[in-house]
Chains A and B, each alone.
Chain A
Amino acid sequence: DTEVTQTPKHLVMGMTNKKSLKCEQHMGHRAMYWYKQKAKKPPELMFVYSYEKLSINESVPSRFSPECPNSSLLNLHLHALQPEDSALYLCASSQWFGAGQGYSSYNEQFFGPGTRLTVL
């Protein structure tokens, strides 16, 4: 199974709502990622989890709260979002070789189809 699944596909929420995005993979990957992508722009990294621990937070506002309950699941909890947070949210996973691996590093990332989020 080489698929990354994301739910929901579309989400519309108000600025006072609390919602969650979910991501799942069964490839045995120990690195999982959240990206945010605005229209006609490249994906921007938000968070990286390795071995279920948060390893990179790209200075993301606290209204976005990631969670990695186990090696297959990744959640993104949303609270008090702003209209400018409307975007496509992409989850990805990859093998993890860690730091200092030089030419042996190999981090092809497998992406899910994304959740299209609209904040009203």
Chain B
Amino acid sequence: SQQGEEDPQALSIQEGENATMNCSYKTSINNLQWYRQNSGRGLVHLILIRSNEREKHSGRLRVTLDTSKKSSSLLITASRAADTASYFCATDGSGGTASKLTFGTGTRLQVTL
């Protein structure tokens, strides 16, 4: 299975702190994406990083990708209570199945005041 593993499974921090989540995957990819899901709701796309990119920023988000280690990290800086959610990495297989995403196991982030 392509499914990625994420760690930690759960993370609890205080508002203003940074949160780092890690994702590892198994096979070659075209790109890796990160999604957020508020409890019981649909997923929201956060950021996409291509296999030839090493780092990408979007607002308070910083994503890194190391294809040699088959791993990625998502950093949320200066976290807010509204960042409380589950975060999933998702990979698409290279070589023709570009539309099929496989999601990682997810990290549940709790940001407290």
Contact = CB atoms under 8 A, between A and B. Distances in A.
Interface stretch (A62-70, A73-81, A104-112): A104-112
A112 B42 contact: yes
Interface in A81-120: 88, 90, 92, 94, 96-103, 105-114, 116
Contact of B99 (A44, A48, A111, A112): A48
Contacts of A50: 99
Contacts of A108: 33, 45, 48
B42 A90 contact: yes
Contact of A113 (B35, B41, B88, B106): B41
A4 B42 contact: yes
A31 interface: yes
B50 interface: yes
Contacts of A92: 42-43
A96 B99 contact: yes
Contacts of A96: 99
A61 interface: no
Interface in B77-101: 88, 92, 96-101
Given A42-B3, A106-B48, A108-B45, A55 B88 contact: no
A11 interface: no
B99 A55 contact: yes
B45 to A, nearest CB: 5
Given A42-B3, A42-B104, A43-B103, A107 B98 contact: yes
Interface of A: 4, 31, 40-45, 48, 50, 55-56, 88, 90, 92, 94, 96-103, 105-114, 116
Interface of B: 3, 30-31, 33, 35, 40-45, 48, 50-52, 88, 92, 96-106, 108
